[in-house]
A and B are shown apart, each in its own frame.
Chain A
Amino acid sequence: MGKLIKYEFRKQLMSKFVVGIVIAVLELVFLAGLIFDKGDWAGIGLGGMMIVAMISLLYFSFESIVTYSNDLRTKQSYMLFLTPRNMFQIVGAKLVTTILQIFVCGCAFAAIGIGDVFLVCAAKGDVKMFLDTVKEFFHALTGVEIRLVEVIYVVVMLLIAWLVFIALAIFAITLSTTLLSNWKFKGVASVVIYFILDWCVTKVATLVTPTGFLEGEYLVVNTEAWAFIGVYAATLALSYVGTALLLDKKVSV
């Protein structure tokens, strides 16, 4: 599967290259602001990087979906589907590539951001004060002490919800390609199928968590909270298996 991942990543490399250049320019603006003591330059650089980072992570997710759509829609599909690899490997490589690139890019953005914040603090000689401010900020924001289990739950939930979004979209594209192979509007159909599937998943998740897992505004990590994640994890698994089986048995490119 490593080689499939390598080429999945290569197909989507150009966007990372462009984002890298934009981030590099903004970092230079930020550093120039720091060196020449121009607060507005530093602010533009740092703020710009935050916006670019958020938009990029969203874009990379959509790019994975568009790349898959192109792999089914265009003649480039032959490159992928002529290879002697089973469909579980092909779909798996796409999901793993998506996870890896978001993880790597997310870490890179975080590292740059943390590095820049420390540079500011070092330049102003006040690292401790900055860290105290961050702690106070989170405390003021949540109003409660943050427990590790809640942090883990939120991270797992966000990760699975995001993966389900991509896996469901891929499944919807595969379904529309299977059912409407020669239809001009199968792209629109896949969007409709996605929203129907998403509605169904949300409905099931609501049904298995009848009392909910919020106390007022706060999250409580109870059995229902894990059942909620279970529904999304099952959706992820079913989307993956369903996509691979459809590709193996039905889809013509």
Chain B
Amino acid sequence: MVEAKSVGKRYLGKQAVKDVDMVWEDGRIYALLGPNGSGKTTFMKMVAGLVKPTTGELYYDGKKIGVESKRKVAYMSTEPFFYSYMNVKHVGKYYADFFEDFSMARYEELIARMDLKMTDKAKELSSGLAAKLKIAATLARDAQLYMLDEPLNGIDIIARESIIQTIVEAAGEGKTIVISSHLVDELEPIVDSVVFMKQGSVILAGDAEEIRTERGKSIVDLYKEVYA
């Protein structure tokens, strides 16, 4: 589904992503792991079509990232990004206007489940509620690929479980979910594959179960070992 061939991104004086080769297959849940500055967000943004690679090639379903891939890819950034005039209802209408796979009924259900109100102003929400709004808007799409950048940031420990449950529910037949997070212990039970990134490069990638068996340790322990 997503194929990266020697993909790199260089900003002025900084190599954010370096020579990444990667394949994300249909129907799997991926954890994209690494500390701040490891290139996770830049890589996700390249797949979302927000950032253009400096080198290499990036494909979605065999075609270069572009308008067509944006129809099928739902990306949730870690930062708030809704227009300042918007309330929760406006956000839903905006998504409904631009994404054919967006379901307003599903959005309303998620909004209710996340203790949000349609009249809440997006820019006045607490960080936890703002994160929930981003998750609701993203998961109300019937996308083929969901990329969630730090979806649990700002969300309290009680709500995390229900968020993770909602994310898993979205992983229907053939859907791919990519989650980047520092909270590896919360992700480990649900992910099929893991990708470890460091200083812009992929240093380890593969099936989570195989990695656990080969290395004889959990993903959490491996994470501590790699980034300690």
A and B interact physically: yes
Using a CB–CB cutoff of 8 Å, the interface residues on chain A facing chain B are 3, 6-7, 10-11, 13-14, 75-79, 81-86, 180-183, 249-253
Residue of B66, B75, B81 touching A75 (CB-CB under 8 A)? B81
Q: Report A-chain residues with C-beta under 8 Å of the C-beta of B81.
A: 75-79
Q: Report A-chain residues with C-beta under 8 Å of the C-beta of B80.
A: 75
Closest A residue, CB atoms, query B46: A252
**Are B50 and A180 touching (Cβ within 8 A)?**
no
Q: Report A-chain residues with C-beta under 8 Å of the C-beta of B77.
A: 75, 78
Residue of A7, A84, A183 touching B71 (CB-CB under 8 A)? A84
**Are A82 and B70 touching (Cβ within 8 A)?**
yes
Q: Report B-chain residues with C-beta under 8 Å of the C-beta of A181.
A: 11-12
**Are B12 and A81 touching (Cβ within 8 A)?**
no
Q: What secondary structure prevails in chain B residues at the interface with A?
A: loop
CB distance from A14 to the nearest CB of B (A): 7
In the complex, A14 Cα to B84 Cα: how many Å? Answer: 11
**Are B52 and A249 touching (Cβ within 8 A)?**
yes
Q: Does any Cβ of A come within 8 Å of B85's Cβ?
A: yes
Q: Does any Cβ of A come within 8 Å of B210's Cβ?
A: no
Closest A residue, CB atoms, query B70: A84
CB-defined interface of B64-77 with A at 8 Å, one 1/0 digit per residue? 00111011000101
In the complex, A11 Cα to B84 Cα: how many Å? Answer: 9
Closest A residue, CB atoms, query B52: A252
Partner-contacting stretch, out of B92-100, B182-190, B192-200: B92-100
In the complex, A101 Cα to B173 Cα: how many Å? Answer: 46
Total interface residues in chain B, CB < 8 Å: 29
In the complex, A84 Cα to B67 Cα: how many Å? Answer: 5
Residue of B9, B49, B85 touching A14 (CB-CB under 8 A)? B85
Residue of A7, A86, A249, A253 touching B51 (CB-CB under 8 A)? A253
CB-defined interface of B1-29 with A at 8 Å, one 1/0 digit per residue? 00000000101111000000000000000
CB distance from B40 to the nearest CB of A (A): 16
**Are A180 and B52 touching (Cβ within 8 A)?**
no
Closest A residue, CB atoms, query B42: A252
Closest B residue, CB atoms, query A7: B94
In the complex, A252 Cα to B11 Cα: how many Å? Answer: 10
In the complex, A182 Cα to B16 Cα: how many Å? Answer: 12
Q: Report B-chain residues with C-beta under 8 Å of the C-beta of A81.
A: 49-50
CB-defined interface of B43-68 with A at 8 Å, one 1/0 digit per residue? 00100111110000000000000111
Decide: A3 near B51, CB < 8 A? Known: A10-B85, A180-B12, A182-B14.
Answer: no
**Are B98 and A253 touching (Cβ within 8 A)?**
no
Decide: A76 near B98, CB < 8 A? Known: A84-B70, A85-B67, A250-B52.
Answer: no
Residue of A13, A85, A250, A253 touching B50 (CB-CB under 8 A)? A253
In the complex, A186 Cα to B11 Cα: how many Å? Answer: 14
CB distance from B13 to the nearest CB of A (A): 8
**Are A79 and B67 touching (Cβ within 8 A)?**
no
CB distance from B53 to the nearest CB of A (A): 9
In the complex, A84 Cα to B99 Cα: how many Å? Answer: 8
**Are A86 and B83 touching (Cβ within 8 A)?**
no
Q: Report A-chain residues with C-beta under 8 Å of the C-beta of B12.
A: 180-183
CB-defined interface of B163-190 with A at 8 Å, one 1/0 digit per residue? 0000000000000000000000000000
Closest B residue, CB atoms, query A89: B67
Q: Does any Cβ of A come within 8 Å of B82's Cβ?
A: yes
Q: Report A-chain residues with C-beta under 8 Å of the C-beta of B50.
A: 77-78, 81-82, 252-253
In the complex, A94 Cα to B143 Cα: how many Å? Answer: 28
In the complex, A7 Cα to B94 Cα: how many Å? Answer: 8
In the complex, A11 Cα to B49 Cα: how many Å? Answer: 23
CB distance from A190 to the nearest CB of B (A): 16
Closest B residue, CB atoms, query A74: B81
In the complex, A81 Cα to B66 Cα: how many Å? Answer: 10
Q: Does any Cβ of A come within 8 Å of B79's Cβ?
A: yes
Q: Report B-chain residues with C-beta under 8 Å of the C-beta of A249.
A: 52
